[in-house]
A and B are shown apart, each in its own frame.
Chain A
């Protein structure tokens, strides 16, 4: 047939020309892939999933911006490598007063910002005061989400009276005292977030303008980030890459590579292929389908300990989800192992409660609703909801660390629910902004898939965020739960908070506002010659320890 002959001839032509070209390509590629170029310096090329939004960490709240920020900035507090627990960083040591309102930080000495100005207690207070005094134009969730969540309010604006921050006093070069208006056990762990990095007051003064119409586009936020970290900004070529250079004056362990380059490749499979072809040295968010092929080809897969939870949420404003029997029936109808096998990466642990085991207050002593479709059908009968129609919302076009392929997960859950006689009405939306707006901003949804990766080790960061008040996502009012969580938030130390949260978790699983499904394991992929990468459950991954041989 001429058609197929035509096609094959065309293919032959393409193949021949590609062969000729690749002959030259191979030799060139060999030079590049060793990580060494002619000058003998070493480079670490990393692919994330998107470009950073801005280089001032106060004004961003996405993982890619934080990834870059972590290399250039440091906060008072860091994390113990590989865990979510706080560890000293710019603050050597700290003490908390009895009433939980006063924190005394002892700072490292001899540390300089990238612009050679000193890091000291005065700088610390300049930073805290700056955040507290941000103008109202900067107080939107889109810009200063983390400050709002942790400190609850600013000096001005509608939530000024809820503000957690009271004052900061500098005592000499190396002692800073922070006073809060209320006790908050999560304060110290929260200071490990990139949003609370210490930035050079001099540089901020010179290049930043917090009152700008959009502070993400100022000179500071696009070209002059000034922190204390092991890398400085070489350049940010928009649409191409961020080039970071090793900081020769870094006070800690200096970077082993001379240069780190961050590129953005949106598609997970394209990232995997780029690694296989030697175009990059490492990447984040390996798709579940790529893990085995990469391992078989000799690449390294590094897992982060799961610090997240994937759940099926119920909107109790939608019938019949307001009936606890129906919610229980759905829980019994779900086979979590099948979900994990079909749509989540290998190594994923199944979830029993709404927080992973690394978090304070974790307990497995709860009602678990193990897979039992018969019981599910029975409960539905009892509730008079056998064969009911339920709207099932899920997002498309997105891959989150806790939900790498939502459509796959959705399909498995759907078939499990249909197997017990429920009728599922699927509603899909684009992740951002449609899905998030709909689920978190309106009551127009039924059951939905969502999840959460913890930012720092604090129980409130999980269950408090979900269930601390009435929200459009969950649609219920449970005064006892709300007040329990509010009280727990104010407990001054993690040790005291532990049993309280354990009980809260038990209560939550009785009430069953949703079904926690799994704690998926996010993974990174690296070339064979990359050594030393330390994965962190909260993505506190600084590349000064990475070497490319």
Chain B
């Protein structure tokens, strides 16, 4: 389930209002003596959606890391299960900021630790996808010919199965635990990164710098690591950010399908959502809060990723 899209419309703010992603801006960068990154930073700073996205991401990361400090109780403790009945789940009170969940744990604690789980799953799976995908992409783009065709066929095959089903098949083989989820979701991201890096390799292969370097006899590896990769860094980071958003949603989907990590002591938003379904009448917050958390977090990453993309590539495509 990729939400990878071209930028939403050309210049943000329209033809009338000057805003960050103005075609003239790139020229301004050089004129001001700024690198691409410094220029991007300036544009980001002035873009309200970028700020909003960045704030959400920051909040998410801080909560995820600081969960043990912020949470009043232990996760998944089910200590107050005696207070829960099939038709009522205690709501917010002085001891429990958001009330209990249906198993008798503190809902606020569960949500906080759920952030941590999402961050771990998201980061690790994206890292896996990135590493393997980048490797394949560089290999294909760099070596060309038969290797390129072979790698791209492999990528096509992986893309021929919807990513959720791919994740499901892998989880079936590896079992129902945290590692298999991360590998499964990471595997679904490999084709995206492979294509990205291959494209980067190919387009830069024709650039003047590389042609000159080749002519001068500089070793290929130096060209790749010294020039191509740094130039590909921007789009890769953008893609990684966007993929993180997707990864967070896919983890929840896998839980919904019953393939998630089943250890009840580990709080996970997707699982909380699944468990809350039959108590929706009694306590809608049990479903609404985790769902909102998933959506808002994914939103933050998406906003930031897209704003970053625009900031790094201010010219409209094609």
Contact = CB atoms under 8 A, between A and B. Distances in A.
Establish whether A and B are touching in the complex (CB under 8 Å).
yes
Most chain-B CB neighbours within 10 Å: which of A397, A408, A430? A408
B176 interface: yes
Interface in A392-410: 396-397, 405, 407-408, 410
Interface in A439-480: none
A410 B87 CA distance: 18
A415 B104 contact: yes
A428 B262 contact: yes
A292 B87 contact: yes
B4 interface: no
Contacts of B265: 426
Interface stretch (A131-139, A339-347, A380-388): A339-347
A342 B82 contact: yes
A288 interface: yes
Contacts of B87: 288-289, 291-293
* Interface of A, helix, strand, loop or mixed by DSSP: helix
Given A396-B258, A430-B176, A430-B258, A415 B279 contact: no
A338 interface: yes
A269 B85 contact: no
Contact of B86 (A345, A407, A414): A345
A342 B85 contact: yes
Contact of A287 (B79, B84, B262, B278): B278
Contacts of A530: none
A410 B81 CA distance: 10
A407 B275 contact: yes
Report the contact-size class of chain B (Cβ under 8 Å from the partner). 20 to 34
B78 interface: yes
Interface string A430-443: 10000000000000
Contacts of A343: 86
Interface in A76-132: none
A414 B262 CA distance: 15
Interface string B79-110: 10110111100000000000000111000000
Contact of B85 (A268, A293, A341, A430): A341
B78 A429 contact: no
Given A289-B87, A289-B278, A289-B282, A412 B81 contact: yes
A430 B81 CA distance: 23
A410 B282 CA distance: 21
B28 interface: no
Contacts of B280: 269
Given A411-B104, A415-B81, A288 B258 contact: no
A220 to B, nearest CB: 34
Contacts of B85: 341-342
Contacts of B30: none
Interface string A286-306: 011111110000000000000
A415 B78 contact: yes
Given A287-B278, A411-B264, A426-B265, A342 B81 contact: yes
B103 A408 contact: yes
Interface string B263-296: 1110000000001011111100000000000000
A546 to B, nearest CB: 27
Interface residues of A, number: 29
Contacts of B176: 429-430
B86 A293 contact: no
Contact of A289 (B82, B86, B258): B86
A544 B45 CA distance: 75
Contacts of B262: 396, 428-429
Interface in A491-543: none
Contacts of A430: 176, 258
A195 to B, nearest CB: 30
Contacts of A269: 277-278, 280
B240 to A, nearest CB: 25
Contacts of B263: 426, 428
A414 B78 contact: yes
Interface string A277-289: 0000000000111
Contacts of A415: 77-79, 81-82, 104
Contact of B264 (A290, A291, A428): A428
A148 to B, nearest CB: 30
A412 B82 contact: yes
Most chain-B CB neighbours within 10 Å: which of A267, A290, A411? A411
Interface in A147-185: none
B260 to A, nearest CB: 10
Interface in A414-428: 414-415, 426, 428
A414 B264 CA distance: 11
A292 B85 CA distance: 12
Contacts of A289: 86-87, 278-279, 281-282
Nearest to A337: B82
Nearest to A404: B86
B239 to A, nearest CB: 25
A182 to B, nearest CB: 44
A343 B77 CA distance: 17
Contacts of B275: 407
Nearest to B265: A426
A415 B73 CA distance: 15
Contacts of B282: 289
Given A289-B278, A289-B282, A338 B82 contact: yes
A268 B278 CA distance: 8
Contacts of B104: 342, 411-412, 415
A408 B85 CA distance: 10
A426 B77 CA distance: 12
A115 B103 CA distance: 54
A267 B104 CA distance: 23
Contacts of A342: 81-82, 84-86, 104
Contacts of B77: 415
A274 to B, nearest CB: 14
Contacts of B79: 415
Contacts of A408: 81, 84, 86, 102-103
A288 B265 CA distance: 24
A170 B279 CA distance: 58
A398 to B, nearest CB: 10
A288 B89 CA distance: 13
| A-B interface, 5 closest residue pairs, ranked by CB to CB distance from nearest | A428-B262, A288-B86, A411-B78, A411-B103, A289-B86
17 contacts: A268-B278, A269-B277, A289-B281, A293-B281, A338-B81, A338-B82, A341-B85, A342-B81, A342-B86, A342-B104, A408-B86, A411-B78, A411-B81, A411-B103, A412-B82, A414-B78, A415-B78
Given A429-B176, A430-B176, 20 more contacts: A267-B277, A267-B278, A289-B87, A289-B278, A289-B281, A338-B82, A342-B86, A342-B104, A343-B86, A396-B262, A405-B86, A407-B264, A408-B84, A408-B102, A408-B103, A411-B78, A412-B104, A415-B79, A415-B82, A426-B263
Interface of B: 77-79, 81-82, 84-87, 102-104, 176, 258, 262-265, 275, 277-282
